[in-house]
Amino acid sequence: MSAPAVALAGVGLKRRYARGGFELSVDSIDVPAGETLALLGPSGSGKTTLLEILGLLQRSDAGQVLLDGRAVGMRDRAARLQMAAVFQRPHLFKGSVAANVEYGLVARRVPKRQRVERVAEALERVGLAGYEGRSALVLSGGEAQRVSLARALVLEPRVLLLDEPLASLDRLLKRQLTRDFATILADAGVTVVYVTHDQDEALVVAQRIAIMNRGRIVACGAAEEVMGLAVDEWSAQFLGVEPASQGRVTGVEQGLVTVATGGLEVFASGNPPVGADVLFAVHPEDVLLFEPGVELPLTTARNRVPVTVTSVEPRGATFYAALDAGGVKLAASVSRAAAAELGVSPGARLLAVFKATAVRWRLVNETTGAATM
C-alpha cells in the first residue's frame, strides 16, 4: 500500500524572536493527508509558532509552507480558506452558539439555508445538538471547546490546526474530551496538526508525533515509535524514560535480530542489515522484573537480562525503576505491591524479562526520521 500524499509540509522554516532567545528552525516537516501529527514539547519549545507558521497565521523569516505541494503564504486567501484553527482557549465570540459556528461560513459567503444545515450537523458531530440558540458565553469549559471544534469542523477544512485545545480543562474532562476529539478527528478524515505538551493526549489523538525542543524537531515519526525510543538525554528526560542504547546488529535470522552491546546480547525483531549500528530501547511497561535465579514459567520473552536497580521513583499508582544492565540503561514500571514483594530499591539485583517484539530500534544515522521496524 502506498503512503498517503503529504497534505501540509514545511521546508527550511526559520523564525527569529525579537526578544532574543532561541530561533525556530525546522528543516522539514510533513503531515500526510488524513492523519494527525502531534507537535509535542515543553512550554516555550516553539510548537505554537510552528503551528501558526504552518497555518499561515504568522510569517516565517525563511522557508516555505506547502499545501498539497503548492507553496502558499499568509496573503494566499484561497489557501487560508482551506485551513481552520482551534486554540487553547475557545475564544468564542459574543452571540449565540450558532453565530459562532457559522462565522467561517459567513466569511465564505455560504447561503443561509446551507449554513443552518451545516451548523446543525457540526454541533451534532461534537455532541451539542440543539445548542444553536444558546449564548456562547454561558457554556461550560468542555462545551465551549466542543463549540470551538465545531466552528472549525463545519468549514470542512483541508487542514485543521489545534493548539493545546484541551490544556485549560480539568483532568477528568480532558481525558473524556481527548477520546472524543480523537474519534471526531478520525471520523472527519481531516489532516490535523495538534499541539500539546501532554504525551498521553498525543498518543491518543495522533498517528505521528514530532517532539520539539528549543525551536527544533528532535524526533519525528510514528507515534508509538517516537514515544518508545528516546534518541538523546533531553528526549529521555522529557518523555520520562531512559535514553536509547547503542548496539551493533550481529545476526538476523527469520526476523529475529541479535544486537550486541557491551557484554550483553539483546534480541529484537525486524530485518536490519548485519553489522549496522542501531539505537534501541524498551518501554518500561514492557519490562517484567523477577528475583534472580527464579524458575521462570514457559514464556515467549526471549530477553532475560540481569540488572541492578539504580533508582526508584513513584509515578502515580506505580513505581518507575531505572535499571543498569552492564552499561545498557533499561527501566521497568512496577506496581507498588510487586515493588514491595521484590524489594525494588537502589542497588537491588534482579532479572529483567522482555519480548523481542518489545525492543524498539532504529539505525543510528536516522536522526529524526521514522524508526525502522
Partner 1 sequence: MGIYVDALREGWILLSSGTLDVWAIIVTSLRVSGAATMIALLIGIPVGLFVGLKRFVGRGVALLVFNSGMGMPPVFVGLIVAMALSRRGPFGDLSLLYSQTAMVIAQVIIATPIVMAITAAAVSAVPRELRLQARSLGAQGWRVALLTLREARMGLIAAVAGGFGSVISEVGAVQMVGGNLQGETRVMTTAIVQYTRMGRYGYALSLALVLMAMVVFVNVALTRMQTSAQQWERQ
Residues at the interface with partner 1 (CB under 8 A):
52, 55, 57, 77, 80-81, 83-85, 87, 89, 91, 93-95, 103-104, 107-108, 135, 137-138, 151-152, 155, 161
Phi first, then psi: give them for residue 161, nearest 5 degrees. -110, 125
User: Judged by CB, which is closer to partner 1: 90, or 228?
Assistant: 90
Q: Shortest gap between Cβ of 91 and partner 1 (angstroms)?
A: 4
User: Judged by CB, which is closer to partner 1: 166, or 203?
Assistant: 166
Rounded CA-CA distance 120/127 in Å is: 11
Q: Shortest gap between Cβ of 38 and partner 1 (angstroms)?
A: 19
Q: Is 80 helix (H, G, I), strand (E, B) or coil?
A: helix
Rounded CA-CA distance 119/178 in Å is: 22
User: Judged by CB, which is closer to partner 1: 1, or 138?
Assistant: 138
Q: Shortest gap between Cβ of 121 and partner 1 (angstroms)?
A: 17
**Alpha-carbon separation of residue 235 from 42, 225, 259, 278, 311 (angstroms):** 11, 13, 23, 17, 19
User: Judged by CB, which is closer to partner 1: 66, or 81?
Assistant: 81
Q: Shortest gap between Cβ of 145 and partner 1 (angstroms)?
A: 13
User: Judged by CB, which is closer to partner 1: 49, or 303?
Assistant: 49
Q: Shortest gap between Cβ of 212 and partner 1 (angstroms)?
A: 20
User: Judged by CB, which is closer to partner 1: 190, or 244?
Assistant: 190
User: Judged by CB, which is closer to partner 1: 52, or 225?
Assistant: 52
Rounded CA-CA distance 231/219 in Å is: 7
The C-alpha cell that represents 106 in the structure block: 459567513
Q: Shortest gap between Cβ of 303 and partner 1 (angstroms)?
A: 48
* 178 and 201 Cβ atoms separated by less than 8 Å: yes
Q: In the chain, at which residue ranges do the beta strands (DSSP E only) sit? A: 6-15, 24-32, 36-40, 62-67, 70-72, 83-86, 159-163, 191-196, 208-213, 216-222, 245-253, 256-261, 264-269, 277-282, 288-290, 303-315, 318-325, 328-335, 349-354, 359-363
